[in-house]
Amino acid sequence: MTGFLFDNSYARLPEVFFRTCEPTPVAAPALIRFNHALAAQLGYQGDADDAELLAQIFSGNQLLAGSRPIATAYAGHQFGGFNPRLGDGRAVLLGEVVTADGQRRDIQLKGAGRTPFSRGGDGRSPLGPVLREYLVSEAMHALGVATTRALAAVTTGERVYRDKPLPGAILTRVAASHIRVGTFQFFASQRDIDSLKALADHVIERHFAGISGHAQPYLALLQQVVQKQAELIAHWMSLGFIHGVMNTDNVLVSGETIDYGPCAFMDSFHPETVFSSIDAGGRYAYQMQPAVGQWNMARFAETLLPLIAADQDQAVEQATAVIRDFVGIYDAAWLRCFRAKLGLRAVQSDDRQLIEDLLDLMAQHSVDFTLLFRSLQDAVLAPQQAVQTLALFHGASAWQGWAARWSQRLELEQQTPEQIAAGLRGINPAVIPRNHRIEQAIQAASEGQDFSDFQRLNRILSSPFLVTDEDAQWMGPPQPSEKVCKTFCGT
């Protein structure tokens, strides 16, 4: 057998949830990269070194036995405006597999051709967004963030036409599921309560089996999704990650990060940073992410109201209380993440102030987010004399003033400075997917068919806490001439 042992639970839902839709074959597929470790987890059977066969399979040219290709229906708020009919316009779900440890995973081709939801689009993807998603989603996974993953990337041998002709490509995305807040909105906006209930029951069984016997399962579902979302966004914030397009169709109820279109990691820290070319108003700026996350959860709650209680006033009251809890869950998760980044395990009441004051200083001095936190593993041994950290600030006094407070605070810890330093090595990454390197890799691949930077980036980012000096050097902040200020949606 070649392929996977498919078990397609979503395709067993009523027909209103999706449309049957096969990938459109491409002219000359060629494999860019295959994720062997992930393939093994998914139970891939077949010759994982047969690049030609893999290119046929992960371009959609060759359909695997047991696959039941569909495009899923969803709606969504995009930049605040509601669109009742989106759906997978350029993605085809090949099917689901259950891993050896019992986890269900979607396998989806992105860029596989037109679907019934394509509207005016061509259903294709240029190479750039495919490489970006591969790099960033796999980097996020290596950083320990809940995320969709990349199983394969292929070029199609065809051109796609945007403002200019570009090489086409297809990404194979793996996710716990592709069920979005927007999937719930699709049925809620049509007042299709039966389908809404079927969807909610499917999600509970698939992602939150623990609440199936709950007295109020749909309220508990809201609680679970709110908690996952609040913790996910806190995790993003602790890495300087900006999602860039937090529309409700890009929010998975499983709590995984999805859609790596206009995302980016910050270099020098500023809370108002925005990269996305389509986000002129700064709706999805770094510091807005928790508030937007809560707003998205309120939209999710609205869809569940008919299921939560027969009395709608009562449903609103109960759902509102859960949405209010987002703030407390987020704040606690944020504090947990940033305490850990400073080597603090004990809990002290003024820790939040200490962290916020550091972030303020970093913003004032345009300090590189990743380098600063990484430097703390050495700084912890002698905070006042921390050469690498000091070099990130203009003048010594700003850092030294804060370092004196940190130093006092570290004395309340039960660990030696050496132990704290060792712990920090696994918490603050040495490297993140810097935008200028991603752009460089995309350009070399798109214009010169040279994938060496892409492959090198993948290799380095697969172990972000452990890199050689040479790799760390290459992964440093951009020179002024290398800075990338805008990222683009993957369309």
Q: Is the dihedral of CA 153, 157, 161, 162 positive or negative?
A: positive
Active site residue 471: no
Give the closest residue to 219 by CA, choosing from 326, 323, 320, 319.
319
Which 199-258 positions form the footprint of ligand AMP (CB under 6 A)?
250
The binding track of 92-131 with respect to ligand AMP, each residue x by CB under 6 A or -, is -------------------------xx--xxxx-------
Nearer Cβ to Mg ion, position 108 or 303?
108
- Give me the count of residues in the chain: 491
Q: Shortest Cβ distance from residue 176 to ligand AMP (Å)?
A: 18
Binding segment for Mg ion (CB under 5 A), chosen from 153-161, 183-191, 257-265, 374-382, is 257-265
* CA distances to 49, 281, 321, 366 from 358, in Å: 48, 27, 33, 12
388 binds ligand AMP (CB under 6 A): no
Contact partners, residue 248, CB within 8 Å, separation at least 6: 76, 77, 180, 181, 182, 185, 296, 299, 300
For residue 469 the two structure tokens come to 């000096």
Q: Is position 250 an interface residue for Mg ion (rule: CB under 5 A)?
A: yes
Tell whether the torsion through CA atoms of 182, 184, 185 and 187 is positive or negative.
positive
- Using DSSP's 3-state secondary structure scheme, residue 359 falls into helix
Judged by CB, which is closer to ligand AMP: 133, or 267? Answer: 133
Of 83-91, 133-141, 208-216, 345-353: span binding ligand AMP (CB under 6 A): 83-91
Rounded to the nearest whole angstrom, what is the least distance from the CB of residue 148 to ligand AMP in the complex? 12
> Phi and psi at residue 97, in whole multiples of 5°?
-125, 155
Tokens read off for 275: 């990269």
Which of 132/270 has CB closer to Mg ion? 132
- Tell me which of 88, 231, 267, 302 binds ligand AMP, using CB under 6 A: 88
* Structure tokens given for 63: 């359909």
Quick check: 300 and 225 in contact, CB under 8 A? yes
- Check residue 478 and report its DSSP letter: P
Would you count residue 90 as binding ligand AMP (CB under 6 A)? yes
Instruction: Identify which range of 8-16, 136-144, 254-262, 359-367 contacts Mg ion by CB under 5 A.
Output: 254-262
What phi and psi values does residue 217 have, to the nearest 5 degrees?
-60, -35
- Interface with Mg ion includes 256 (CB under 5 A)? no
CB of 330 to ligand AMP, least distance (A): 24
With CB under 5 to 8 Å by kind, the binding choice for 490 among ligand AMP, Mg ion, none is ligand AMP
Q: Is 261 in the site for ligand AMP (CB under 6 A)?
A: yes
Phi/psi at 384 (5° precision): -70, -30
Residue 80 binds to ligand AMP (criterion: CB under 6 A): no
- Please report which residue ranges of 105-240 form alpha helices under DSSP H: 127-142, 181-189, 193-207, 217-237
Find the catalytic residue in 249, 279, 368, 453: 249
Q: Find the shortest distance in angstroms from Cβ 425 to ligand AMP.
A: 36
Structure tokens at 456: 């090198």
Q: What's the first-to-final CA gap in the chain, in angstroms?
A: 35
Q: Where are the beta strands (DSSP E) in 292-351?
A: none
- Residue 489: name its binding partner from ligand AMP, Mg ion, none (Cβ under 5 to 8 Å by kind): ligand AMP
Smallest gap from Cβ 77 to ligand AMP, in A, equals: 12
The verdict on 259 binding Mg ion (CB under 5 A) reads: yes
Indicate whether 289 belongs to the interface with Mg ion (CB under 5 A).
no
Residue from 453, 440, 446 nearest 479 by CA: 440
Q: How far apart are CA 406 and CA 396, in angstroms?
A: 15
Binding-site member from 43, 89, 157, 306 for ligand AMP (CB under 6 A): 89
| Nearest residue (CB) to Mg ion, 340 versus 489 | 489
Partner interacting with residue 388 (select from ligand AMP, Mg ion, none; CB below 5-8 Å by kind): none
CB of 121 to Mg ion, least distance (A): 12
Residues in contact with ligand AMP by CB under 6 A are: 86-90, 117-118, 121-124, 250, 259, 261, 489-491
Hey, which residues are catalytic here?
Answer: 249
